Amino acid sequence: MKLLRVGPAGQEKPAALDEAGTLRDLSAHVEDISGATLSDDGLAALRQIDLATLPELPADSRVGPCVGQVGKFMCIGLNYSDHAAESGMEVPAHPVLFMKATSAICGPNDDVLIPRNSQKTDWEVELGVVIGKKASYVEEADAMGHVAGYCVVNDVSERAFQMEFSGQWVKGKSADTFGPIGPWLVTRDEVADPQDLDMWLEVDSHRYQDGSTRTMVYGVAHLVHHLSQFMTLHPGDIISTGTPPGVGLGQKPPVYLRRGQVMELGIEGLGRQRQTVGQA
């Protein structure tokens, strides 16, 4: 299934995309695309619904973040060896974890706002993993059973705040609008292999990132297993799994976002995003 949330910011309705590409209103069946809705039982119940019988939603509806009430927004740094190289950093011996504030989450086509005093706002297309089942001390062999599905994430980053302002990376990752997710949560049964998905990102129609999840250092199953050794993962938590090469920081010389530019990005089978860059 392709699940999403549509409507004005803060008033999104749960919805599904049917086989014809029509938006269908799920609000008579679930309150939100979050929590228990993302469990195996919750998703199985949704699959029993004949989507053709549900009310249509306007095709031009705003698409909001595909997951609501996110508890944790976790990100993995330097998880593509070629991206680590372009950043001038070594591939880590263990997954590098940092958090992104959930207040950064926005819809996939909402404007991305350059923070005040920013000169180095950057882009990162990433595979997002949405947790569907509580995970604590999970074995890697069992990890995929805790995944509800996948989505596109743009891990927007302010490099000076991230690397030059001391402390953790979270400073450069958490500005408002720095976490577009969606358009859809694609359930795991519809993604044959999350480690074989093409991904790309363009700024003003120039392709900067053109990669694949095949080159991830630590795959989805390992990340779910690894993180569950340090914290309990809950339904609706999101893991953003790292970015392939081609970020602005890695250009020679570096290239950063400017007001008025347009980012477009996508992952095979998971949809695409489009954001206009504005100013906070």
Its domain, for residue 116, covers: 68-279
Our count of domains for the chain comes to 1
Burial of 141 (0-12, 13-18, 19+ CB in 10 A): exposed
Cβ atoms < 10 Å from Cβ of 248: 19
Residue 156 lies in a domain: yes
Give bridge partners of residue 179 from the DSSP assignment: 105
Query: What is the Cα–Cα distance from 150 to 78, expressed in whole angstroms?
Result: 20
Check residue 166 and give its pLDDT.
86
pTM of the predicted model, to two decimals?
0.96
Query: Which of 236, 32, 239 has its CA nearest to residue 134?
Result: 236
Residue 55 lies in a domain: no
Residue 190 lies in a domain: yes
* CATH code, domain carrying 155: 3.90.850.10
237 pLDDT higher than 80 = yes
pLDDT, tens only, 139-173: 999 999 999 999 999 999 999 999 999 888 999 99
Query: Which of 176, 227, 199 has its CA nearest to residue 124?
Result: 199
pLDDT, tens only, 51-92: 999 999 999 999 999 999 999 999 999 899 777 777 777 788
Give mean pLDDT, residues 209-227: 96
Residue 238 lies in a domain: yes
Residue 21 lies in a domain: no
Residue 53 lies in a domain: no
Give mean pLDDT, residues 227-232: 98
Alpha carbons within 13 A on the beta-carbon side of 185 = 30
Query: Which of 103, 94, 101 has its CA nearest to residue 76?
Result: 94
Residue 137 lies in a domain: yes
Tell me how many helices (H) and strands (E) the chain has: 4, 18
The mean predicted confidence, pLDDT, of the chain is 96
Residue 110 lies in a domain: yes
Assess whether the previous peptide bond of 253 is cis (omega < 30° from 0): yes
Structural Rg of the chain based on CA atoms = 18
pLDDT, tens only, 81-137: 777 777 777 788 999 999 999 999 999 999 999 999 999 999 999 999 999 999 999
CA dist 32 → 16, 25, 26 (Å) = 11, 11, 8
